[in-house]
Amino acid sequence: MLSPVQIGAVGVVIAAAWTLSAVVAARFGGSLILLMAIGGALAVAVTWLLVVVVQQAAARLRPLEDELLGLQRQLQRQRAQTATVVENLGSGVIVVDRRGQVVLANSAAKQLFAIERQPVGHQLVESIRQPELLQAMHPVFADHAPREAVVEVRDATGARRVLRVLCVWIAYEGAGAALLEARDESESRHLEEMRREFVANVSHELKTPLAAIKGYAETVELAIGDDPQAALHFITQILEQCRRLERLIADMMTLARAQAGVQYLRLATVDMAAVIAESITTYAPVAAAKSIQLEHPMSDGEPTLIYADREAVLTIANNLIGNAIRYTPEGGRVIASSARDGAFAVLSVQDNGVGIPQHEQKRVFERFYRGDKTRQRSSKGTGLGLAIVKNLTQAQGGRIELESRPNHGSTFKIYLPATVPAK
């Protein structure tokens, strides 16, 4: 609406135009000229009036324009933030429209499904050929009910992956779309398999000595009156099986402590050479019984100091030296030594025993794994020794290396964080 001042100004303009028209008509005469002059005056007045109205409208629309621009920038920021979040999700996310075209796919999805080219704008079946996944996705468009599918794929690195894919309907551009969320369950499946295998192995390891104890006890009961000597023999076997159970339970407790992490360790400065010497003293009679040379070459330099749990390091040394003696034939040789290697100290145990085939060298650190028949025949342990060594080493921030050749022996190297000796 025009203000009173603006209305007065319009009146003045019209009056001025009318006066000018009358002057022109009086000077030149004729009504036609008068009408033309009046029309021109009115056109000037109307034009000026329109300019005023447009200026007022523009002034009123400018705040709305600024508000719309602000909303547009805010929407762009939100879209960018959402895109960043989706792109960096650990789960794979794919959005497929009703035509089966991919409208969104994050990096995790491309890696999990080993999608090499850009899938957006192409049919999903061109990038993912998993019938179970496609069968779960199509009904979602009809009833909007979520579906799940479990598929096995090879990822971008070639590793086998087990994926659980959730398919849900979402509102998308008025027509709706299917959102696929893929979660990698490979690790949890592997852990579940390890748990089942561990339970089965423990059950077997416990069942064997218990069955022997039961059998020996029944035999003693029958023979104790007629043949006391035989009864004494079976009592000795019962004691041996009880000791076997005791070793198994002790090793399982040690393994549980190792897997619990560093919070259960007492870290301090430890002389690695002194720990090896203590272990050598313990196993010297065992090595002598098999005529095995058990050597501990001493370094002429500074002591090999590490930051570790002394009991844990002693357990590592005992397991490695005990294994070396166990799998080395009579007349063989076992060497245990320590040395510095940069920021680490290395506990090395070398033997010239039966060795370990290449395809078994990763598995020997698994619980209850004893390898081929040659090693099984030589073993009287619980099958937990190297698993304990591995977990105790990792809990102290170290690593383990193995070099071995069948019939040539093995070398185990334990790297633990070294400390600088005091001057």
335 φ, ψ to 5°? -120, 125
Fold of 90-184: Beta-Lactamase (3.30.450)
Residue 187, classed as helix, strand or coil, is helix
Structure tokens at 308: 């570790």
**CA–CA separation, 119 vs 107, rounded Å?**
11
Radius of gyration over every alpha carbon of the chain, rounded to an integer in angstroms: 43
19-28, 57-66, 105-114, 201-210, range with greatest mean pLDDT: 105-114
349 — phi, psi (to 5°)?
A: -125, 120
**Strand order across the 147-154 sheet:** 102-105, 92-97, 177-184, 160-170, 147-154
For residues 314 and 275, is the Cβ–Cβ distance under 8 A? yes
Question: What local confidence, expressed as pLDDT, does residue 159 receive?
Answer: 76
Distances (CA, A) of 145 to 31, 116, 138, 403: 84, 31, 11, 55
Cβ-proximal residues to 280 (8 Å cutoff; 6+ apart), any chain:
294, 296, 321, 336
β-partners of residue 405 are 409
Least confident of 81-95, 170-184, 333-347: 81-95
Looking at residues 154-172, what average pLDDT do you find?
A: 82
Right CATH for 263-417 from 3.40.50.2300, 3.30.565.10, 3.10.129.10, 3.40.50.1000? 3.30.565.10
CB contact at 8 A, 102 and 115: no
**Angle value at C-alpha 184, between 181 and 189, nearest 5 degrees:** 135
The residue type of 285 is P
Residue 420 or residue 368, greater confidence: 368
Res. 175: pLDDT tops 90:
no
As a whole-number percent, the residues of the chain with pLDDT over 90 amount to 15
Q: Is 189-259 assigned to CATH 1.10.287.130? A: yes
Q: Supply the pLDDT for residue 275.
A: 93
b/e map of 345-364 (b: 16 or more CB within 10 Å)?
A: bbbbbbbbbbbbeeeeeeeb
Q: Predicted confidence band at 377 (pLDDT cuts at 50, 70, 90)?
A: very low
The band of 53, judged by pLDDT with boundaries at 50, 70 and 90, is confident
Q: Which helix (H) or strand (E) holds 306?
A: strand 305-308
270-293 core/surface letters (b: 16 or more CB in 10 A; e: else): bbbbbbbbebbeebeeebeeeebe
pLDDT at 333: 93
More confident residue, 380 or 170: 170
pLDDT score of 167 more than 50: yes
pLDDT over 70 (residue 371):
no
* Tokens read off for 198: 């561990």
Residue 423 confidence (pLDDT): 47
CA–CA–CA angle 397, 363, 161 (5° rounding)? 90
More confident of the two residues 372 and 53: 53
Q: Is 359 or 324 the better-scoring residue by pLDDT?
A: 324
Mean pLDDT of 241-256: 74
**Amino acid at the residue 60:** R
Q: Predicted confidence band at 346 (pLDDT cuts at 50, 70, 90)?
A: very high
The per-residue b/e assignment along 315-339, b for 16 or more CB within 10 angstroms, e otherwise, is bbbbbbbbbbbbbbeeebbbbbbbb
